[in-house]
Amino acid sequence: MAVVDLPFRDGYVSSITYVSLYVSIIAVTLSTLFSIPIAIVMGLSDFHGKQFVKSVINTGMGFPSVVVGLVVLFTVSNQGPLGELELIFTKEAMIMSQFVLATPPITAISLAAISSVDDNVRDAAHVLGGTRLDVALVVLKEARYGIATAVLAGFGRAISEVGSVLIVGGNITSASGISKTRTLTTAIQLEARQGQYETAMILGAVLVTLVLTINAIVIRLGDQGVQR
Amino acid sequence: MPIQRREFIAAIGTGALAATAGCAQSGESSGQTEAAAESGGGSQPGVSGETLTLTTTTSTYDTGLLDEIHPDFEEMYGVSVDAVAQGTGAALESARNGDSDIVMVHARGLEDEFMRNGYGVNRRDLMFNDFVIVGPESDPAGIQGMGSATEALTAIAESEAQFVSRGDNSGTHTKELNLWEAAGTEPGGDWYQETGTGMGEALNIANQQGAYTLSDRGTYISQRSEIDLVILVQGPIEDGPEILANPYGIMAVNPGIHDNANYDLAMAYIGWITSPDTQDAISNYQVNGEQLFFPEAVSENPDFQQYVPEGWSSNSSDE
């Protein structure tokens, strides 16, 4: 087969790729900033009901994305509690749903990484006169590889997700083909719906390449950290 | 430590941007990528910077019609039109919730209900095409050439030939259910499958399974090169039965119910899409050399009445 004549308009693929990254990276960044403190507090302390909270977080890892999409839709719809903000069919609504989806895996995997840091490290930091913050930072540094894995897991869930972003984002491009809320995954869904399987495959290849690239970058950064 | 983290995040961001540029298709410069990136912060291009949210059925979107005609409107008014393709039922539901400003659908019964309940105002007939019954060339139920859609469906049901239904509360699904009712047949059993998908996907599934399905002509034509299904019962455009007519209407969301609806822009859109120029553009739009939609808004004998749903009594609102 010769070069396939694909119905890509100028800027189409780069703009949907951009929207995918924009939404996922912001959501995962917010998730990380939200999850890590929770993981540290839970990892460094014992409290009544800790196992229960853990099991809630673990359940959240498997929470169906379309249900998250529906809940966010009800929240941001003009009839919902945040209706005033007019967030329906915007990137912000998509970020909200991705945040909800990415937070449980990031929290759970970070917590596992922090819990597995050797108690001696903590004790040593205490003995050397470290404050609680110092101890937390030392533990965080020891667990950074696991935390990077956690962030990647959250990112993987966010960028490969299709159900909720379709519901709250609406899969919108401008008439000239520049994406507003269309992501790689929802574009693949649209192309498959229209029977354009070659186009869908190419977009799929872009998505997979993107995920591999970002994984490689993050793991590389993690390795450098370990060597230092 | 916090600074390191910030560098870490910045590095991810830089890598992501590089990856975006790297993944861009050959025809796209990285300058365009950056332009797309800059416009991503929620701001819209255009003079007034407003956005009109249009919820619509998948057929107007998947056939490429809206992408063809919208640049003209966007240029004229300096606004962007966010077209959300949802299927008629979902499109009306979004409008009912005030999540869109204007709605373009094709199911008169559902439109009437929407208008009667006061959610929509200023409905206009927009354009029409028709439905066709498509199926495998082998035609196991022998419906080819039947002049009646209901007879054809009855034949399919009696021979228990595979039939794919949209099953998604779309305009096409609504029409299909009306046809079964008119045929006096309750569809069911192993031969009748509801897919819950858009028209294009339903056609693909019917194609894979050698099944019959009801399709709008536009989606069928735009996908014909990908599938083996053939038209077995024609609609009124090709002198088929009138019951297969597929008229599209457009309605503004009532600003009296949803004060956030962009009513001015919605009315500008209705005026524009029913204007002679845009109606010409609709009739000139072709896929694979065939006209998909037939304009209906401009008439030699215009009806000056405000559109009201069938069976509407103006007293009912006072009770």
- Domain containing residue B237: CATH number: 3.40.190.10
Question: What are φ and ψ of residue B248, in 5° steps?
Answer: -105, 140
Between these two residues, B36 and B299, which has the higher pLDDT value?
A: B299
Residues B81, B178 within the same domain: no
CA-nearest residue to A30 within chain B is B9
- Among B23, B33, B70, the residue with its CB nearest the CB of A206 is B23
Closest residue in B to A6 (Cα–Cα): B25
More confident residue, B315 or A100: A100
Same domain, B136 and B73: no
If asked whether residues B259 and B235 sit together in one domain, one would say: no
H-helix segments, A132-183? 132-142, 144-159, 163-169
* CATH top-level class of A12-46+56-224: mainly alpha
Residue, of A187 and B304, whose pLDDT is higher: A187
What is the average pLDDT score of chain B? Answer: 84
Tell me whether residue B73 is in a domain: yes
Number of domains in chain B: 2
B206 pLDDT more than 80: yes
Confidence band, pLDDT 50/70/90 cuts, at residue B189:
confident
The chain B residue lying nearest A13, using CA atoms, is B24
Position B277 scores a pLDDT of: 96
Is residue B15 one of the residues assigned to a domain? no
Question: Domain check: are B116 and B256 in the same one?
Answer: yes
Please name the amino acid found at residue B68.
E
Structure tokens at B231: 């038209």
Question: Which residues, including other chains, have CB under 8 Å from residue B260's CB and lie 6 or more apart?
Answer: A78, A83, A86, B98
Cβ contact, residue pair A92, B71, below 8 Å:
no
Candidate from A19, A29, A217 with C-beta closest to B15: A217
CB atoms within 10 A of CB A193: 20
**pLDDT mean across residues, chain A:** 88
User: Which of A8, A78, A171 has the CB atom closest to B260's CB atom?
Assistant: A78
Query: In sequence order, which ranges of B107-241 are alpha helices (DSSP H)?
Result: 108-116, 149-159, 171-183, 199-209, 217-223
Subunit contact B12:A10, Cβ cutoff 8 A: no
Q: What is the ipTM of this complex?
A: 0.76
Q: Does A177 touch chain B (CB under 8 A)?
A: yes
**Cβ-defined contact of A171 to B203 (cutoff 8 Å):** no
Q: Using CA atoms, how far apart are residues B179 and B241, in angstroms rounded to an integer?
A: 12
Which residue does chain B place closest to A93, by CA atoms?
B42
B158 CB neighbour count, 10 Å cutoff: 10
Same domain, B251 and B214: no
Flag whether B32 is in a domain: no
Kindly state whether residues B239 and B254 are assigned to the same domain: no
Same domain, B173 and B82: no
pLDDT of residue B38: 40
Q: E strand or H helix at B123, and its extent?
A: strand B120-135
pLDDT value for B192: 92
Q: Which domain, by its residues, includes B168?
A: 130-244
Closest Cα of chain A to B259: distance in Å? 10
Residue pLDDT, tens place only, B219-232: 899 888 889 999 99
Asked, for residue B185, whether it belongs to a domain, the answer is: yes
Residue B313 forms part of a structural domain: no
Looking at the domain assignment, is residue B4 inside a domain?
A: no
Q: Would the CB atoms of B1 and A209 count as touching at under 8 Å?
A: no
How far CA A177 is from CA of A14, B82, B211, in Å, comes to 11, 11, 34
Check CB contact under 8 Å for A195 and B227: yes
Q: Which of A115-119, B150-154, B172-176 has the lowest mean pLDDT?
A: A115-119
Least confident of A14-18, B43-47, B256-260, B264-268: B43-47
For chain B, say whether A11 makes contact (Cβ under 8 Å): yes
Q: Which chain A residues have a beta carbon less than 8 Å from that of B27? A: 8, 10
For the stretch A52-76, pLDDT in tens is: 999 999 999 988 999 999 999 999 9
User: Of chain A residues 198-227, which have a CB less than 8 A from chain B?
Assistant: 206, 209-210, 213-214, 217-218, 221
Any alpha helices (H) in B210-316, and if so which ranges? 217-223, 263-273, 276-284
Residue A75 C-alpha, separation from nearest chain B C-alpha, in angstroms: 12
* Residue of A86, A137, A175 lying closest to B74 (CB–CB): A175
CA-based nearest residue in chain B for residue A11: B28
User: Which of B312, B255, B276, B245 is CA-nearest to residue B106?
Assistant: B245
DSSP B51: E
Res A128: pLDDT: 86
CB-based contact B74 A210, cutoff 8 Å: no
Percent of chain A with pLDDT over 70: 94
| Mean pLDDT value across residues A125-150 | 88
User: Cβ of A221 and B11 within 8 Å?
Assistant: yes
User: Number of A:B CB contacts under 8 A?
Assistant: 135
The confidence score (pLDDT) of residue A6 equals: 62
Q: Is A168 on the interface with B (CB under 8 A)?
A: no
- At B113-141, the pLDDT tens digits run 999 999 999 999 999 999 999 999 999 99
Cα–Cα distance between B2 and B185 in angstroms, integer? 69
**Residues in contact with A187: Cβ distance below 8 Å, sequence separation at least 6, in sequence order:** A16, A171, A179, A203
Quote the minimal CA–CA distance from A174 to chain B in Å.
7
pLDDT band at B96 (very low <50, low <70, confident <90, very high): very high
Q: Is residue B302 part of a domain?
A: no
Same domain, B65 and B169: no
pLDDT for residue B87? 85
Residues B142, B290, single domain; the answer is no
User: Does residue B314 belong to any structural domain of this protein?
Assistant: no
